[in-house]
Structure 1
């Protein structure tokens, strides 16, 4: 496996810059996700690393070796795509063996490598089936088997789970993470699904408009987002953003608090309190989501027991100050320290 160093990488399509001077260091054996909305440049970055797209500026190094001018085959990487890309006329065994035959290896070596990949992925009983006779999850495992069979320097995956149903997606991401840990592979995983990225990754590169907004461990991004975009993109439901004045504070900073940190209460010295009107209770398994109208804005909170709560009546929501984040109104950058003193503990509306 390999470490991957990206320095000053810029990619343009005509006059449009889709990647803007990116710098990333991916360690050997690390699982990194590129996460962001459609059009942010995450798949383009993956294709630049793989050699499917040329870069306009910057460099890409595998274990310190410059590979920017090498073709995809010379980079010793493996790709897994959203559509699996299995050859329909070949059995699973033949699909997995295909890249080894392209390398003109002897049949004994090919047989050993195919058997190893099939054993690792648990697909031995499927080796003589055609892709049409496989489920979505089985096809995905076969595609991964074809990717890992030749021991690549890095495994690159472009939204490989998006065609699967919800339960199978959860199962497959567990299998991918187990496989990565077992083999010590360097994996780059492209997704727009923040839950996938949070569960799978050692670190996540959150992207917007061709720029990496934050590159850090999942819980670091969740707890200490670099800016308002990251704070709003990571976490479900989305973080609440309120004007500082609405929270009874001086200054024009934006206040952010996650729904899971905002709960019904009576206030306290260490809490931020907001008074509003309960407009919706939404069951969500072990807890309920509450939609509360505060001024002209709906704020979402959570609780485990809705007894005593009535739609249309007043409610107080509280959050520990340690869970509250502050963002500048212009750039949206997070302010590490509270930028303003609260004029009062509670803002009554």
Structure 2
């Protein structure tokens, strides 16, 4: 539905560099990356706010890179809502239809329908500044949806909201997508959005797309050291992979990890903290990686805490609940065993 090929754009000291993306019709596509990765510039270039220096953007096979933004059939919602303060909520929502000279009665009916869908039908006569953040964001989304865009662009739409409102609006976005089947491209830095909303995800770094896949693929099989670290793998080490007699191992200096990854040479290796089992005695299981070590640090952090264990000179970070820490009687200097499966050891080229 949307094909981006070799897209490049320089703005000041920042550049998008050779971005390639294919987005399917009706897909909920999330773009994730740190601040300064180029996410908003990518979205604004799709919308027509910026013209590419090189490359192309096609929608349903039609080149739109230099098409007027009004002709692209794209709706965009920013983090800061951008509602018109001199208009009522209803007038804000209906603004795009009014610009198209649609019959006022038809505009009022469509405004009422989309406002009811988003739970703000009772707020149509209010001024935007009297609304809560969540209500303003619903009004902004309604204004974008009422023009029936072929693509809806969301620039961090949940970031300015409190946790409860963010979760409620996240559920509403999922419902809207299911009902309207609109293609959505959503920028975020909240990992919760990926698993609640995304069909697929693109990870951006320094103006480029470094990996595209389902949320599970991104988290379980990161393509680069950056993706592994950015998605919270935490245990990322440099090692040397080899395959001998059908067995794949990765040497991390003093210790050797068994893996299912068929790769050789210099690699990065990553293991998620939640994949590591911590025990006071050797843990009986089918997992083939077991090491003895000592606790060097306990970081209390909400429901899950981080335990750092030195296993032969390699510091592993493990995720445990506070109850598990108390049950195991863990403290700095205590001896423990670490156990994890070969499938938990992810390797990618250095």
2:252 to 245, 254, 259: 245
TM-superposed CA distance for 1:88, in Å, is 1.4
Match of 1:319 in 2: 340
**SS of equivalent residue, structure 1 residue 125:** helix
Match of 1:212 in 2: 209
**SS of equivalent residue, structure 2 residue 10:** strand
**Aligned equivalents of 1:176, 1:249: Cα separation in 2:** 46
TM-superposed CA distance for 1:241, in Å, is 1.5
**Aligned equivalents of 2:14, 2:120: Cα separation in 1:** 43
Deviations 1:129-175 (A, max 9, x none): 11121111111101111110111111101111111112211111111
Match of 1:277 in 2: 294
User: Mind listing any 5+ residue stretches in structure 2 that lack a counterpart?
Assistant: 239-250, 258-264
Change (3 A) 1:247 1:314: same
Q: For 1:288-303, list aligned pairs within 5 A.
A: 288-294=305-311, 298-303=315-320
The TM-score normalised by the length of structure 2 is 0.86
Q: For 1:102-251, list aligned pairs within 5 A.
A: 102-235=99-232, 238-243=233-238, 244-246=251-253, 248-249=255-256
Change (3 A) 1:94 1:247: farther
- Greater fraction strand: 2
Change (3 A) 1:303 1:38: closer
**Aligned equivalents of 1:83, 1:324: Cα separation in 2:** 41
TM-superposed CA distance for 1:247, in Å, is 5.9
Match of 1:260 in 2: 274
Aligned-CA RMSD value? 2.0
**Aligned equivalents of 1:23, 1:273: Cα separation in 2:** 41
Which segment drifts farther, 77-86 or 247-256? 247-256
**Aligned equivalents of 2:65, 2:183: Cα separation in 1:** 18
8 Å CA contact 2:255–2:312 kept in 1: the answer is no
Change (3 A) 1:246 1:321: same
8 Å CA contact 2:254–2:312 kept in 1: the answer is no
Which segment drifts farther, 172-181 or 291-300? 291-300
TM-superposed CA distance for 1:89, in Å, is 2.0
Match of 1:310 in 2: 330
Change (3 A) 1:317 1:135: same
**Aligned equivalents of 2:62, 2:254: Cα separation in 1:** 53
**SS of equivalent residue, structure 2 residue 161:** coil
**Aligned equivalents of 1:283, 1:17: Cα separation in 2:** 35
8 Å CA contact 2:286–2:341 kept in 1: the answer is no
8 Å CA contact 1:239–1:257 kept in 2: the answer is yes
Match of 1:22 in 2: 19
**SS of equivalent residue, structure 2 residue 101:** coil
Change (3 A) 1:182 1:269: closer
Change (3 A) 1:245 1:45: same
**Aligned equivalents of 1:4, 1:55: Cα separation in 2:** 15
**Is 1:8 the equivalent of 2:16?**
no
**Aligned equivalents of 1:299, 1:284: Cα separation in 2:** 20
Which segment drifts farther, 153-162 or 300-309? 300-309
Change (3 A) 1:269 1:200: closer
